[in-house]
Amino acid sequence: MIDRRKTLMLMSGAGLAPAAALAATPREIMWDELIPAGLPYSEIIGEGEVDLINDTWNPIYDANATKLNEDLNGAYIKMPGFIIPFDISAEGVTNFMLVPYVGACIHTPPPPANQLVMVNAETPWPGDQLWDAVWVTGMMRTQLQSTDLGQTGYEIVADAMEVYVW
């Protein structure tokens, strides 16, 4: 006969099983899902100003640029993007910004915060593959952070990466 304490322990453990099963299969997301539902992208970018000295356009974002999709906080996801490395070692890169298009933040003004993702990878991505589009898989958090390249709205602790093939 199982006593009350054992029954409660069994029941409390059963609640963890579905979460573990879900964590094994990442939710595949695309960049538009980083914007909260009901917020059109066109309402994020406001006016801008031309920097005549550096021959660039600097966007001025409104408050919608930092609105994040809180449904993704704590989600185990898989998303594509391009790498903007912060540090490169002989093994590759483990800390980088994931951006939606090639050259974002380097050759063009940065996208809004809700379109930039900080990534901390468990395994270094090879330095000779930095221009490849990648799939990043891991746990996502919503968190505004400032960097030298722009403000980010999300962070992923990546447990897997692979070349993105379309």
Q: Does pLDDT of 116 surpass 80?
A: yes
Whether residue 41 is predicted with pLDDT greater than 50 in this model: the reply is yes
SS (H, E, C) the chain: CCCHHHHHHHHHHHCHHHHHHHHHCCEECCHHHHCCCCCCHHHCEEEEEEECCCCEEEEEECHHHHCCCHHHCCCEEEEEEEEEECCCECCEEEEEEEECCCCECCCECCCCHHHCEEEEEEEEECHHHCCCCEEEEEEEEEEEEECCCCEEEEEEEEEEEEECCC
User: How confident is the model over 48-68, as pLDDT tens digits?
Assistant: 777 788 777 777 788 888 999
User: Can you tell me the mean pLDDT for 102-116?
Assistant: 83
Is domain 27-163 annotated with CATH 2.60.120.10? no
At residue 148, the pLDDT reads 84
Q: Is the pLDDT of residue 2 over 70?
A: no
Q: What is the pLDDT of residue 46?
A: 60
Q: Tell me the average pLDDT across 33-42.
A: 85
Task: Give the start-to-end residue ranges of the domains of the chain.
Answer: 27-163
- Average pLDDT rounded to a whole number, residues 116-135: 94
